[in-house]
Amino acid sequence: MSIRVVGLSLLSVFFLLSAPCFSADEEPGQELPTKSPDGKWLIRMPNDAEREKLKEDEVPKAGLFELPSERRVECPHLDSMEGFVDSVRVVWAKDSAHVAFNYRAGGRYCSTDLCELKDGKITGLPSPEDMLFGFLNQVKATQIKEMGLKPGVYQRRIHDEVTTRRWIDASTVEVDAHSIRTVPVKANDKDEDPEIVDVEAKFRFTLKLDPKKKEWKILKSEKLKNE
């Protein structure tokens, strides 16, 4: 069970909101601009000519381009990204036909999008997030039960993260998932304020895509050390 007093944890909330989603020593993915292994695809920010065409209220966005023509390819995952563009990290598969985007999706939330490149187009693959957070929620629920708290105890969201580390093959990926909540634990003395503690789950998963059901299955899960 991973339960830590949040005296220091609450002080670290600012760090979670401002720091990169990933650990500095093994940040997964490539910064922009980045090319696919076969050199046929490029992901970059707008160049000077493209920036001049933007309106004052338009935010520069990363784009996907086919090489050598420099044809811009519609990519909803990048085209709809309004902020945190500097956080984008790209994980290419060796076949250059599959790619993952790791990015900050909110102040306390980091996400990953998995995509397939085929016939000059990019399409999104199913997201594994709901399944992975469901797994982590069960781990946290066990911790809460072991603490003697009710299942419906208030949980304050501190951080949620799903990060693609690498493509093992075209339908298999290695993904990290991490979730932190704080819960109040009542002291023995009724006059004292409840103690706030962390409930945390952090795992590394190997996932396999079932093309018929269009969903990911967990092949392997490994508990990671909480920092």
The DSSP annotation for 150-181 comes to: -TT---EEEEEEEEEEEEEETTEEEEEEEEEE
Tokens of 108: 């306390």
The mean per-residue pLDDT over the stretch 187-208 comes to 86
pLDDT at 136 over 90: yes
Give the pLDDT of residue 21: 65
Specify whether the CB–CB gap between 117 and 90 falls below 8 A.
no
pLDDT confidence tier of residue 179, bands split at 50, 70 and 90: very high
Residue 151 belongs to domain spanning: 3-223
Give the pLDDT of residue 11: 36
Q: In sequence order, what are the residues at sequence separation of 6 or more whose Cβ sits closer than 8 angstroms to the Cβ of residue 210?
A: 216, 217
Give the pLDDT of residue 60: 85
Minimum mean pLDDT range among 17-26, 92-101, 135-144: 17-26
Give the pLDDT of residue 26: 64
pLDDT at 107 over 90: no
pLDDT at 145 over 60: yes
Give the pLDDT of residue 27: 73
The DSSP annotation for the chain comes to: --EEEHHHHHHTHHHHHHS-SS-GGG--SBPSSEE-TTSSEEEE---HHHHHTS-TTPPP--EEEETTTTEEE--HHHHT--S-GGG-EEEE-TTSSEEEEEEEEETTEEEEEEEEEETTEEEEPPP-HHHHHHHHHHHHHHHHHHTT--TT---EEEEEEEEEEEEEETTEEEEEEEEEEEEEE--SSTTSPPEEEEEEEEEEEEEEEETTTTEEEEEEEEE----
The mean per-residue pLDDT over the stretch 50-61 comes to 86
Give the pLDDT of residue 190: 66
- Provide the number of structural domains found in the chain: 1
The mean pLDDT value of the chain amounts to 87
pLDDT at 83 over 70: no
Specify whether the CB–CB gap between 207 and 127 falls below 8 A.
no
Identify which has the larger pLDDT, 140 or 86.
Answer: 140
The mean per-residue pLDDT over the stretch 33-47 comes to 96
Residue type, 28: P
Identify which has the larger pLDDT, 80 or 133.
Answer: 133
Work out the angle at residue 135's Cα, subtended by the Cα atoms of residues 131 and 137, and round it to the nearest 5 degrees.
115
Give the pLDDT of residue 14: 36
Specify whether the CB–CB gap between 57 and 34 falls below 8 A.
no
How many CA atoms within 13 Å lie on the side-chain side of 156? 12
pLDDT at 48 over 50: yes
| Beta strands at 34-35 and 41-44: parallel, antiparallel or unpaired | antiparallel
Give the pLDDT of residue 164: 98
Give the pLDDT of residue 104: 92
pLDDT confidence tier of residue 188, bands split at 50, 70 and 90: low
